[in-house]
Each structure stands twice: as structure tokens, then as C-alpha cells.
Chains A and B, each alone.
Chain A
Amino acid sequence: MSLIYRLASRNLFHDRLRFIATVVGIVFSIVLVTVQLGLYLGFGRVVTTMIDHAAADLWIMPLGTKCFEDPSTLDERKRFQALSINGVAQAADGLLPWNLVEGSLDALAIPGAVAIDRSYFGRLGVSGIGDSAEIRGHKVEVRAVTNGIRSFTTTPYVFTTLDRGRTYTGISANKATYFLVRVSPGADVESVRRGLKANLSDVDVLTTAEFRDRSRSFWLFGTGAGFALFAGALLGMIVGTVIVAQTLYSSTKDHLNEFATLRAIGSSSVYIHKVIICQALISAVIGFCFAAAIGVIVVAATADTALPIVMTPALTLVLFLLTLLMCVISAVAAIVHVTRIDPVMVFTR
């Protein structure tokens, strides 16, 4: 086994204070990037919660609808037109709550009954089933409770019957924001979509995946929120790179005589570069482990908030590769410095 790893690790651990500073820099940087990218993923999921849980093969919506929250409406007649298209099995204009933890869907048929998420009890001034509240002057009663259906805006989701929903929001009885289409068994979704587009004017017909992408794209990039999150992640990377580069550089300067000795006993530049890069990678792996542990805590702490930080295996892998990349880039300054070493300096000391 080559001595590169041993030399690199002992160079690193020789000065513990500097090593701690390096690791803290990496941890700070990676936790910051984790939070930003985790928020990006979480935001991307939250803005499509309703779309993800709707039972629909195709969505019919007013032309130019940007996202699920878009208040534009369609005329109810379009629903009947849609039902007349070959291959359309169902065209609903509402969706059902999920994750019910108390009460039942049937209870929503009771006049004034609504379902809300338990995370909004405090904000809506209720404490559970049977409590009353008001929506735009209409008295409502909590008859079902869900868990985890949170809006990323300040406005909570409230489920009720379609008619009462229209009343509470002031939408005409013949209007709806979407029609959720289920195609007949065996029917081709793309053919049905073409039929709907050909027969319905001024509408967009999107698959669930397309609507999800459009909604996510609007909130993340149309509003600039995604860019802000990416900018935060980039800032984290830059800060981390600078900190690691600085500590690696000063470590290399401290061990310059040893690197010159390596050159003087016959080492190639590549060997020395490998030692420095190995130092960077050891720092990266250790720093990443600490950052990942903190990341797990942060993810758990935000799991029940309106905007949870989401960590996936793919994101973990990306963060690990980013950490390695950041540390290798950080090693460049040290490598440039050590490249200029003249082995003759060893003879004069």
C-alpha cells in the first residue's frame, strides 16, 4: 500500500487546530448547501402536493394557467364537452383530502362541514373535531382532520364539498378551476389529450407530470425563489472552498520542507500533488460525515413545517460529490505553491 494516504493523514492530523478549522469550514459550507438544496427539493414537492395527490390522468385548465394556485376558472360546460370525448371516463371538478386521521369523508356531506389539517389548528383557532370557525362570514365546523397537507403559502387548505367551496370562495356555481380527467381503461392518454384539445377552446390539457413541472417551474423560477436558493447554495460552496483552500495552503506551507525533501529523494510532482489532494479528500470525507449528521437533524426538525427541508439519496450523493469537488478545487492553490518548490532548498537547511 502506498504511503500517500499515511503521509496525507498525518500531515492533516499533525496540526489538530488547523484540521478542526478545516472540518468546521467544510461542515458550515455543506450544511448551508444542504439547507438550500433541501429547501429547493422541499419547495418543489410542496408546490405540487395537490397535483401529486389528485387522481387524474389529464388536467383541463384555463389557457396559460401557471400553477395549481392560479385562480382562473373554466366554465362547467367544458366538463360536459370533455365527457363527450372518446376515451374520457370521468371529468371531476374537485379532489378529495387524504391522510385522514380523524372523522371521515362522508362527514363532509353534513352542512358546514370542513376538513382541515391538524397543523393549522392553532392558526385557525380550533382544537379538533366539532370545533367551529368562520370562512368569509360562513360558519363552518371541523368534521375531519388530515395530517401533513400543508400549503407553502400563508393560506391553509380547507376541504369541503364543491358547492360550499364555491360559496366560500365566491366562485359562481358553474365555474371550476380544473377538470380532472380519468381516461377509460385501455384508452391512450395522448390520443384523449389530442381529442380534448381539438374540441375544447381556450384550455390547456396537461398530464399530471406536465402540470407538476409547470407548477414547480413557475414557483421555483418564475418567482425567482429557486434562483435565490441556488445562489445560497453557491455562496455556501464558495465560502467552503475559500476556507478549505486557505487551511490547505497554510498546511502545505508549513510542510514545504517535507515536500522539498520528497522532491530531493526522487519524488515526482504528481506524487506530491496526490498527497495534497489526498489531504483534501480526507478532510472532505470527514467534513461530509459531520455535515450529513447535522443535515439529518435539520431535516427531522423541519419535517412538520410548511416548508420542509427534504433529503433524498440522490441529493446526499450530489452533496458528497460536491464536497469532494470543493475540496479538490481548494487544493489547487496549495498544488500551485508546491509546484514551485526547488528541492535544492533541502540541501541548504
Chain B
Amino acid sequence: MTAPVVEAVDIAKWLGTGAAQVQALKGVSLTLRGGELTLLMGPSGSGKTTLLSILGCMLTPTRGTIFQSYHLFPTLTAADNVRLALDVRGDNSARALAKTKDALAMVGLAHKAEAFPLELSGGEQQRIAIARAIVGQPSAILADEPTASLDGENGNAVMTLLAEIAKDRSRGVLVVAHDPRILRFADRVVHIEDGCIVREERGGAVLKKDESDCAIHDHAEKHDAVQE
């Protein structure tokens, strides 16, 4: 088993204030290992995106992030959108340009380097977003429903790409997903409901079904919680 690239322990999160306050995460622990694509599945409001966003903000220097709606900069070319991920971290050397070309080539869009996002299809935009996420060679890649806005063909292409990236044993990929059609790309599937991880599967076998996990942390949250 490879070393963990992300290890979150006992994450709790409250959203809102006063009477409207709800607990989005109730003491979630999750380990993401290199060389595997983990699917985080669950119904709407279960806490998937909240967990992903917390992981994303905790891991600023070492993660790449893929958003549901791409969030490409419309006024920058595809190449500049990718290079931006390096530029914001202070890498604006000639090597950054080479890394950008490599990342675009990896997602199969080297020929679209000078195109603006509006000139690209939805699938191409998501692949540019993936290139942006991987250009810094992060150990963890977090993807928030990367196929949500795509048709079946483009969704498959994107997931194939992410699965390919996850073959690298130094990288772990965590994908938040609704769509059961992408289950086949996952090495591991983690189910979350009501802010708790309720089930974990690997290769069809159930590895964990620990209902008590949340109950324990419901009591511990007062001192461990990440409160808003």
C-alpha cells in the first residue's frame, strides 16, 4: 500500500449561524493514497463538496483542484489558464512554459494552447481544468463532480484521464461524484451521508461499514470541530 497523500482526521464543519446552523460534517476521517482514484459518493447535501473544499483549502501548496464548472479565466488562453496554476505559486520561469506544454499534451489539447475557453467545448474546457490541476505535479488532485456538466462521451474521456493520472503511485485522486456510471473508474469508493462516511468499498468488497464513526465524533466535536 502506498503512503497517504492526504490524511484528514476527525473533520467537523458547521455551516450557517443561529437557528439555521447545520452540521455539514460530523467528524469525518479520510485517507487518500497515491496510485488510486477514490470516488466520494453521496446524495445532495451529504457533505461531499464541503469535505472536498476543506481538503482543498488545507492543502494549498500540494494539491490540484478540478471544479465542477471549470472556473477557467475567459480572458486568458488555454495555455495561460494552465500556466496560471504555476504563476500564482511564483513559478514564472521558462520551465513553467515547458510544464504547461507537457500538461496540455497530457490532456490531448496541445493544439488548443492559444484558444480561449469560449472557443472550446465543455469537455475540452474540463480537460484544460485538469491540465491546470496537474501542471504543478501535485500529490493530491481533488475533483468536484468533474463530469457533471459533460455528456457521456466527454465524461468518460475526463474520467479516463483522471484514472490515468491516478496510476502514478505518487499521486492520489479524489473525485466527488453523483453519477454511478463512473464507478468503474474508481479504485475505491467512499460513501458519505449526512456528514458521515457510512461505507467504503474497494474492488466490489465492502471494507468498512462503521455507523458508530459519526456518533463518536458527535460528542467529540466541541473541541475538535472546525467551526465556521
**Chain A contacts to B: CB under 8 angstroms:** 1-4, 6-7, 10-11, 14, 257-258, 261-262, 264-268, 271, 343-344, 346-349
Contacts and interface: CB of A to CB of B under 8 A. Distances in A.
24 contacts: A2-B87, A2-B92, A3-B76, A3-B92, A7-B73, A7-B84, A11-B75, A257-B71, A261-B67, A261-B71, A261-B73, A262-B84, A264-B57, A265-B88, A266-B60, A266-B63, A266-B136, A343-B57, A344-B53, A344-B54, A347-B56, A348-B53, A349-B69, A349-B71
Contacts, number: 74
Contacts of B46: none
B85 A347 contact: no
B87 A347 contact: no
B21 to A, nearest CB: 17
A347 B67 contact: yes
Main secondary structure of the interface of B (DSSP, over half): mixed
Interface of B: 49, 52-54, 56-57, 60-61, 63-65, 67-69, 71, 73, 75-76, 80, 83-85, 87-89, 92, 132-133, 136, 144
B49 to A, nearest CB: 5
Nearest to A267: B88
A266 B67 contact: no
A269 to B, nearest CB: 11
Given A3-B80, A349-B69, A262 B88 contact: yes
A258 B57 CA distance: 16
B205 to A, nearest CB: 31
Given A265-B84, A344-B54, 11 more contacts: A2-B92, A3-B92, A4-B87, A7-B75, A265-B65, A266-B61, A271-B88, A343-B56, A344-B56, A344-B57, A348-B53
Contacts of B68: 347, 349
Contacts of A11: 75
B75 A10 contact: yes
Nearest to A262: B88
Contacts of B73: 7, 10, 258, 261
B75 to A, nearest CB: 4
A1 B92 contact: yes
Contacts of B132: 265
Contacts of A262: 84, 88
A7 B75 CA distance: 8
